[in-house]
C-alpha cells in the first residue's frame, strides 16, 4: 500500500527538498524502512540506534500520535497520511 508521508523542513535534505513523498508500507515501522530505502540516512534521524522513536520526533498517522497507539507497530489505514513532526521547545516568557 502506498502511503503519503509529510516531511519536516529539517529532513528535506534527504528528500531533495520534497515536503511530501510516497512510499510503501502498512505500519509506521515499514514506512520508515521504506523511507530509508528511498532516502538513505533519514531513518537515523527518526529512530535511535535501538530502533526506538527518537524522543524529539513525533509521528502521526492521520491525527493520531503513534506514542498513544501501538508505537512503530501502528497500522496505517488506507488513505491515511503519516506526518513526521520534530518537537518544538524553548523560548522565553
Asked if residue 91 belongs to a domain, the reply is: no
- Predicted pLDDT at 93: 67
Q: Can you give the residue range of the structural domain that contains 11?
A: 2-86
- Predicted pLDDT at 1: 86
Give how many domains the chain has, as a whole number: 1
The CA-based dihedral angle spanning residues 44, 75, 79, 48, taken in that order and rounded to the nearest 10 degrees = -10
Asked if residue 25 belongs to a domain, the reply is: yes
CATH number at residue 75: 3.10.20.30
Each of the 93 residues of the chain gets a pLDDT tens digit; together they read 899 999 999 999 999 999 999 999 999 999 999 999 999 999 999 999 999 999 999 999 999 999 999 999 999 999 999 999 998 766 676
Asked if residue 16 belongs to a domain, the reply is: yes
Query: Model's pTM, two decimal places?
Result: 0.90
Secondary structure (3-state) at 92: coil
Amino acid at each position: 500500500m502506498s502511503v503519503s508521508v509529510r516531511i519536516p523542513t529539517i529532513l528535506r535534505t534527504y528528500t531533495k527538498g520534497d515536503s511530501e513523498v510516497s512510499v510503501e508500507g502498512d505500519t509506521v515501522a515499514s514506512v520508515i524502512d521504506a523511507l530509508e530505502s528511498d532516502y538513505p540516512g533519514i531513518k537515523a534521524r527518526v529512530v535511535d540506534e535501538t530502533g526506538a522513536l527518537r524522543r524529539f520526533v513525533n509521528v502521526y498517522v492521520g491525527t493520531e500520535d503513534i506514542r498513544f497507539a501501538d508505537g512503530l507497530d501502528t497500522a496505517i489505514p488506507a488513505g491515511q497520511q503519516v506526518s513526521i513532526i520534530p518537537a518544538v521547545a524553548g523560548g522565553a516568557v
